[in-house]
Amino acid sequence: QVVFHKMSPNETLFLESTNKIYKDDISNSSFVNFQIWDFPGQMDFFDPTFDYEMIFRGTGALIYVIDAQDDYMEALTRLHITVSKAYKVNPEMNFEVFIHKVDGLSDDHKIETQRDIHQRANDDLTDAGLEKLHLSFYLTSIYDHSIFEAFSKVVQKLILQLPTLENLLNIFISNSGIEKAFLFDVVSKIYIATDSSPVDMQSYELCCDMIDVVIDVSCIYGLKEDGSGSAYDKESMAIIKLNNTTVLYLKEVTKFLALVCILREESFERKGLIDYNFHCFRKAIHEVFEVGVASHRICNHQSSTSNMKAVTHNGTPRNAV
Amino acid sequence: LIFSFFPSLQVLLMGKSGSGKTSMRSIIFANYIARDTRRLGATIDVEHSHVRFLGNLVLNLWDCGGQDTFMENYFTSQRDNIFRNVEVLIYVFDVESRELEKDMHYYQSCLEAILQNSPDAKIFCLVHKMDLVQEDQRDLIFKEREEDLKRLSRPLECVCFRTSIWDETLYKAWSSIVYQLIPNVQQLEMNLRNFAQIIEADEVLLFERATFLVISHYQCKEQRDVHRFEKISNIIKQFKLSCSKLAASFQSMEVRNSNFAAFIDIFTSNTYVMVVMSDPSIPSAATLINIRNARKHFEKLERVDGPKHSLLMR
């Protein structure tokens, strides 16, 4: 809810526990053209009404959420059962484990927990002869940007065009004097691609905050007199100048995506050049996605339209995903 | 230069412990947003903090802990110090308080001290935590309190507001208070109107720099969102907080889409300005030059009023 429906973390305390499978189709509001299936904590694979084979076959990534603040031994057992079953049906699936609610833990405790879970999960897999099954682990919390960062990484692994996007970004920033650029999904603030320079969490957070400002201000002043139109549209753009020569520059790329760049004030003086380069970049991005849509139509149910499923164990009343 | 010889003028924020002053101050002065204040503990002992704003004003928050005897002692020994050079006294009452008599007693002690040391001070009473009162009771209870307070305050006059940190009433009350502290505010508004009309802006907002409270505004037509002042304040304060994590602060902002263009920029030494244009075809550079030129004009206004302001209040 926090990532894809803009809920503030405090409001999630009032979300009810997931009792049945909840399918969330966010393909209309977000670039992430996925369906998110939220499973209740206690899932019974032997229940005949639950056709897990069908579900897993069309799945690109499975996110298993473990509550770090709770005893996770049972969670690990269920994790093992779940991924083994899924792997049998679809060995191409990505398996992602979110070690969640880490906001309450100290840094040492976080690292220790991750190490322990990683160790145990992989031991279980080796014992079962499933060494080829790869698990990725992420420490997450809805109270900071880590959950957004984790979702970003999970989504990026599913985007076939990622290398092309990264390449385009690299070319763009090196020719425009830009330090860092993120291609953001505006609604969820997940970034689907960035250039090859290292990602610094603080920069990512600053860009997220900029998107908040832009959308919020646009909601107040950016609608037409009768209330129609949308806050984020084709002409959306923003420039924020900080007192330490940093400039943040946001430009609309598609109706879901925005490019957020970080650069120096002196580089920004060549705004004309930057805007021209951006124009070329934007055109290229549109072409990349048009190709993607065309090939998808031909190949029907390929894993490019991936279904991401999130299985929450220990379905406590605080269901944060 | 003459300026710095004048002692800074005080805004006193007082009230019984637990009445909500610290949260209030934190929210208005951009340190926390409403839900973070749950983490603030009850103030023990005597806490004094101050914030500068509007150039030469200092907000002094005196919070004396729960112990009654301590409060009384502190009062008598430090009274004159505390109550000198006071422009404004803001007194906060917890609407749910079980000790109404005592609250009024302390309030009156403060008034006596004000009468002796700063008789020209403006008095504002905030009847706070109104969210805890049932909705249909609120008007009635507030009217009762207001009558009592006005009566008790004589010969001094007080203006009362009902407030809560959970809605826009707090923001509106503080905006009104700050508005009354601005010297020659009518002249400022007239200049703002001229400026807005010349540059063909839809709306122009003037913010106080530390709090981002809207202290003056001009609009040429009805705007859809009546709560936009508080929203904009919060949006900007939120972003300011994010920047401060990187030990930076923002200087200016431009936001556009196909229906509008908004510019936020440092204006004078005490203010920020926000200009909203509904004709996005006007190039940014034009508006930015206009703002830059207006800045010089408004700076002059502020400088002229400065020393005069302190003289007027004595």
Question: Quick one: tokens of A107?
Answer: 């840094």
Using an 8 Å CB-CB cutoff, list chain B residues near A216.
231, 235
A292 — pLDDT class (breaks 50, 70, 90) = low
When scoring B219, B257, B279 by the number of chain A Cβ atoms within 10 A, the one with the most, hence best to mutate, is B257
Tell me the three state secondary structure of residue A80: helix
Rounded mean pLDDT, A31-38: 59
A2 min Cα distance to partner chain B (Å):
17
Contact residues, chain B, for A205 at CB < 8 Å: 242, 245
Task: Spell out which residues of chain B touch residue A10, defining contact as CB-CB under 8 Å.
Answer: 35
Task: Point out which residues pair with B159 in neighbouring strands.
Answer: B124
β-pairing verdict for A22-25 and A35-39:
antiparallel
**Whether the Cβ atoms of residue B59 and residue B92 lie closer than 8 Å to each other:** no
**Closest in B225, B246, B280 to A202, CB measured:** B246
- Mean pLDDT over A281-295 rounds to 78
Q: Which of A234-243, B15-24, B61-70, B282-291 has the highest mean pLDDT?
A: A234-243
Residues of A in contact with B249 (CB under 8 A): 242-243
In this structure, the dihedral spanned by the alpha carbons of residues B228, B231, B232 and B237, taken in order and rounded to 10 degrees, is: 160
Of A210, A212, A220, the CB nearest to B232: A220
Mean pLDDT along residues A150-173: 88
The stretch B155-169 carries a mean pLDDT of 85
Greater confidence, B70 or A165? A165
Q: Is residue A315 part of a domain?
A: no
Residues in A touching B225 (Cβ below 8 Å): 220
- pLDDT given at position B179: 79
Q: Which of A158, A189, A205 is the last residue of a domain?
A: A158
Q: Does A61 touch chain B (CB under 8 A)?
A: no
Least confident of A202-206, A250-254, B220-224: B220-224
Nearest residue in chain A measured CA to CA from B281? A235
Ranked by mean pLDDT, which of A16-30, A281-295, B14-28, B48-62 comes out on top? A281-295
Domain B8-180 falls under CATH 3.40.190.150: no
Of all residues in chain A, the percent with pLDDT exceeding 70 is 75
What is the structure's pLDDT at A182?
Answer: 95
pLDDT over 50 at B313, yes or no? no
State which of A126-130, A239-243, B211-215 shows the largest mean pLDDT: A239-243
pLDDT at A289 over 70: yes
Q: What is the DSSP string of A109-143?
A: HHHHHHHHHHHHHHHHHHHTT-TT--EEEEE--TT
pLDDT digits (tens, 9 = 90+) for A117-126: 888 888 888 8
In angstroms, the CA B214 to CA B174 distance is 10
CA distance B128 to B169: 10
Which string of DSSP letters, residue by residue, matches B273-308? Answer: EEEEES-TTS-HHHHHHHHHHHHHHHHHHHHHHHHH
- CB contact A246 to B (< 8 Å): yes
Average pLDDT taken over every residue of chain B? 77
Are A52 and A89 contacting, i.e. CB atoms less than 8 angstroms apart?
yes
Whether A148 and A177 map to the same domain: the answer is no
Quote the mean pLDDT of chain A: 77
How far does the CA of residue B222 sit from the closest CA of chain A (Å)?
10
Of B246, B249, B253, the CB nearest to A206: B246
Please list every residue in chain B whose beta carbon sits closer than 8 Å to the beta carbon of residue A234: 258
In angstroms, the separation between the Cα of residue A291 and the nearest Cα of chain B is 28
Distances (CA, A) of B110 to A53, B47, B85, B124, B178: 75, 17, 14, 12, 21
CA A178 from centre of chain: 24
Contacts of A218 in chain B (CB under 8 A): 255, 257, 260
pLDDT band of A277, cuts 50, 70, 90: very high
Model confidence at A297: pLDDT above 60: no
For residue A36, the model assigns a pLDDT of: 62
Q: Which of B238, B250, B280 is nearest residue A235 as measured by Cβ atoms? A: B280
Q: Is A318 domain-assigned?
A: no
* A313 in any annotated domain: no
In total, the C-beta contacts within 8 angstroms joining chain A to chain B are 96
For A202-222, what is the mean pLDDT? 92
Q: Give the pLDDT band of residue A34 (cuts 50, 70, 90).
A: low
Q: Which of B110, B97, B133 is nearest to B10 (CA)?
A: B110
Asked if the Cβ–Cβ distance from B257 to A239 is below 8 Å, we say no
Reported as a single tens digit per residue, the pLDDT across B227-249 is 888 889 888 988 988 888 888 88
Query: Using CB atoms, which residue from B239, B248, B259 is nearest to A223?
Result: B259
Cα separation values, B73 from A80, B78, B112, Å: 67, 9, 16
Cβ of A214 within 8 Å of Cβ of B276? The answer is no
Mean pLDDT of B285-289: 89
Residue B50: per-residue pLDDT? 65
Q: Choose among A217, A237, A242: nearest Cβ to B235.
A: A217
Q: For A41-77, give one letter per residue: b (16+ CB within 10 A) or e.
A: bebeeeeeeeebeebbeebbbbbbbbbbbeebeebbe
What confidence score (pLDDT) does residue B305 get?
52
Domain boundary among A158, A174, A203: A158
Task: With CB atoms and an 8 Å threshold, state whether A218 touches B257.
Answer: yes
Whichever domain contains A260, its CATH number is 3.30.450.190
Given this model, what pLDDT does residue B34 score? Answer: 39
Write down the pLDDT at residue A240.
96
**Other Cβ atoms within 10 Å of B199 Cβ, number:** 18
To the nearest whole Å, the CA of B264 is away from the closest chain A CA by: 9
The owner of tokens 């970004």 is A169
Residues A79 and A149 occupy one common structural domain:
yes
Q: What tokens does B114 get?
A: 């004000």
Residue of B nearest to A249 (CA): B254
Query: Phi, psi at residue A165, to the nearest 5°?
Result: -60, -45
Domain that holds residue A74: 9-158
Please count the structural domains in chain A: 2
Please tell me the least confidently modeled range out of A36-45, A164-173, A256-265, A309-318.
Answer: A309-318
Residues A102 and A179 placed together within one structural domain of the fold: no
Strands A94-100 and A135-139: parallel
A120 Cα distance to chain centroid: 26
Between residues A147 and A307, the one the model is more confident about: A147
Q: What is the pLDDT of residue A49?
A: 63
Side-chain half-sphere CA neighbours of B219 within 13 A: 10
Q: How many CB atoms lie within 10 A of CB B2?
A: 8
- Residue A258: its chain B contacts at CB < 8 A? none
- Check residue A41 and give its pLDDT: 57
**Domain covering B185-303 assigned CATH 3.30.450.190 in the classification:** yes
Among partner residues B235, B249, B258, which is closest to A233 by beta-carbon distance? B258
Q: What percent of chain B has pLDDT over 90?
A: 12
Are A154 and A13 found together in one domain? yes
What's the pLDDT tens digit per position in A86-104?
A: 888 888 888 888 888 888 7
Tokens of B7: 């002692």
Range with the largest mean pLDDT of A25-29, A139-143, A190-194, A249-253: A249-253
Q: In a 3-state reduction of DSSP, which class is residue B179?
A: helix
- End-of-domain residue from the set A158, A184, A199: A158
Q: Are strands A190-194 and A94-100 parallel, antiparallel or unpaired?
A: unpaired
So what's the pLDDT on residue A178? 95
The CATH number for A62's domain is 3.40.50.300
Residues 165 through 204 of chain A touching chain B, CB cutoff 8 Å: 202
Residue A319 within any structural domain of the chain: no
User: d(Cα A213, Cα A216) in Å, to the nearest integer?
Assistant: 5
A279-288 average pLDDT score: 91
pTM for this one? 0.76
- Is residue B50 within 8 A of residue B87, CB to CB? The reply is no
Could you count the other beta carbons within 10 Å of the beta carbon of residue A216? 19
The more confident residue out of A159 and B196 is B196
pLDDT band at B209 (very low <50, low <70, confident <90, very high): confident
Does the distance separating the beta carbons of A212 and B238 come in below 8 Å? yes
Q: Domain check: are A234 and A141 in the same one?
A: no
- Choose among A220, A233, A246: nearest Cβ to B248: A246
Give the minimum alpha-carbon distance from B281 to chain A in angstroms, rounded to a whole number: 11
- pLDDT given at position A318: 30
Q: Which residues of A touch B236 (CB under 8 A)?
A: 213
Q: How far is A13 from chain B (nearest CA, A)?
A: 13
In the predicted model, what is the mean pLDDT of residues B209-220? 84
**What is the domain partition of chain B in residue ranges?**
8-180, 185-303
* pLDDT, tens digit (0-9, with 9 covering 90-100), for B22-75: 677 766 765 543 333 333 444 444 456 666 666 666 666 665 544 455 456 656
Q: Are residues A152 and A13 in the same domain?
A: yes
- Residue-level pLDDT at A44: 59
